[in-house]
Amino acid sequence: MSRKNTTNASGFILVGLTDSAETQLVLSVLFLLIYLITVLGNMGMILIIHLDPQLHTPMYFFLTHLSFIDLSYSSVFTPNTLHNLLTSNKSISFLGCFTQMFFFILLAGTEFFLLSSMAYDRYVAICNPLRYPVVMSTRLCHTLLAGSYAIGFLDSTVTVVFMSKLHFCQYNVIQHFFCDSSPILALSCSDTSKVEITIFIFAGSTIMLSLFTISGSYLSILSTILKINSTAGKKKAFSTCASHLLGVTIFYSTMIFTYLKPKMSYSLGRDQVASVFYTIVIPMLNPLIYSLRNKEVKSAAVRILQKRDGFRWLVSQWC
């Protein structure tokens, strides 16, 4: 087979999730509904935190950026997926494909370490409450945030540079609904072993380093909570980190299931289901998890809406 890289001219074709017209219509309506909830939920979370001074704390500083990442994350995939479901044109240019992959890895890598920063914040709040205002200073919060974006950028840049050097021959059909590394590796007619190892090392290091940070934080939190004598005190301590722990569990489980395995283990159907979950569903779930299970956020929303002529005031404050 020729090793000429024909995708520079013709691009790729995204097969999508199904060939059935009826199923495509159902999925398009479902994904559009999920995307609208995602946009409203995450924008609402950002707005509430921005407008309520009582939420101007390190925990909600990180939560604001988590909502921004989830909003951006969903916008990378959902509009293009809806376009592919509703039209017969499923092509994507070589540049467009790798741009989508770049932002996917950038945002995912950033979210891993943002969740780690949130876990550290909970650790300090529960294990060292008296030193919390000193330790979680504005400078540290901005440093942790900048570090999260820097690691995500490094991971995405290295991955996309290595992936873009692969040869893609006559067959340019991606067996997926977005440009992910696994189906593109399966498509390449080059020797992908070195690229697979590089991606596995970077992706594995990103996931495991952040996971170890979160695990260490929560082990310390658990140890501290078990030393609390009162049941009410234990319940209050658990409630401060329950939402974050639930969000971490959902996000990490799907990512580990999908990416920390070799190319030969790639399964189209199984991986597509997992991919739909972490690219489209989880960005919708996060604002629900952090708002419905959080009394402070709900109270802040009520305070904002109870202001006289609340909607007009809300718009004026945001604009």
Instruction: Tell me the pLDDT of the chain (319 aa) as tens digits.
Output: 444 444 444 678 888 777 788 888 898 999 999 999 999 999 988 988 888 888 889 989 999 999 999 999 889 989 988 888 888 788 888 888 899 999 999 999 999 999 999 999 999 998 898 999 999 999 999 999 999 999 999 999 999 998 888 887 767 888 788 888 878 888 888 888 888 888 888 888 888 899 899 999 999 988 888 888 877 777 777 777 877 888 888 888 887 777 665 555 555 556 677 788 888 888 888 888 887 667 777 777 777 777 645 555 555 555 5
The H or E element spanning position 53 is: none
Residue 176 lies in a domain: yes
DSSP string, 103-126: HHHHHHHHHHHHHHHHHHHHHHHH
| CATH code: domain of residue 23 | 1.20.1070.10
Nearest to 25 by CA among 80, 79, 86: 86
Specify the number of domains making up the chain: 1
Residue 1 lies in a domain: no
Q: What are phi and psi of 61, to 5 degrees?
A: -60, -50
Residue 149 lies in a domain: yes
Q: By residue range, what is the domain housing residue 222?
A: 9-318
Q: What single-letter DSSP state applies at residue 179?
A: -
Residue 49 lies in a domain: yes
